Amino acid sequence: MDMDIINLFLIDKALAFNDYNVFPNRPENVPSKFSGSGGVNNASGNLAKIIEFIFNFVIAIAGAIFVIMLLIGGITYLVGAGNEEQIGKGKKMMIDAIIGIFIVLASWAIGTYILNAFGYRS
C-alpha cells in the first residue's frame, strides 16, 4: 500500500504531463496502475482508495484495542479473587470496553453509509 501512495503523489502526477506531450516516449501501460485512464483524471479514484483504506485501518485498530481491553478487564476481574478493588476495576474496564466496541460499530456503520453515499465504495 505504501508504494501505491508514493505512486499516487509522485509517478501519477509526473505521468500526467504526458497529456501535454512533455514525455512523448512514455509507455502506455504505466498510468493504468490505478485505473484505466490514469493521469489527472484518475486523482479522485486514488483519493477514494486512500480514504477507504484509512477508514478501514482506523476502525480495525480501534476495534482491536477495545477487544484487548475487554480481555484484560476479564482477566483482572478473574484474578481479583476476593479483592473488591480489583473486581471493581475489572468490571469497569469490561463495561468501558463493551461501550467502546458499540461506539466503533456505530462509527463503522455511519462511515460506511457516508462512503457509499459519496460513491467511495464499490
Please choose, from the candidates 80, 78, 73, the residue with its C-alpha nearest in 3D space to the C-alpha of residue 94: 73
Task: List, for residues 61-86, the tens digit of each pLDDT value.
Answer: 999 999 999 999 999 999 988 889 99
pTM: 0.59
Residue 14 lies in a domain: yes
Residue 22 lies in a domain: yes
Evaluate whether residue 58 is within a structural domain. yes
Location of C-alpha cell 476476593? 82
**8 inside domain:** yes
In a domain, residue 122? The reply is: no
What integer pLDDT is reported at residue 68 of this predicted model?
A: 95
Cα–Cα distances (Å) from 55 to 62, 75, 121, in that order, read 11, 31, 11
The number of folded domains in the chain is 1
d(CA 91, CA 97): 10
Write out the residue range of the structural domain in which residue 100 sits: 2-117
* pLDDT tens readout for residues 96-109: 999 999 999 999 99
Asked if the structure places residue 96 within a domain, the reply is yes
Tell me if 79 is assigned to some domain.
yes
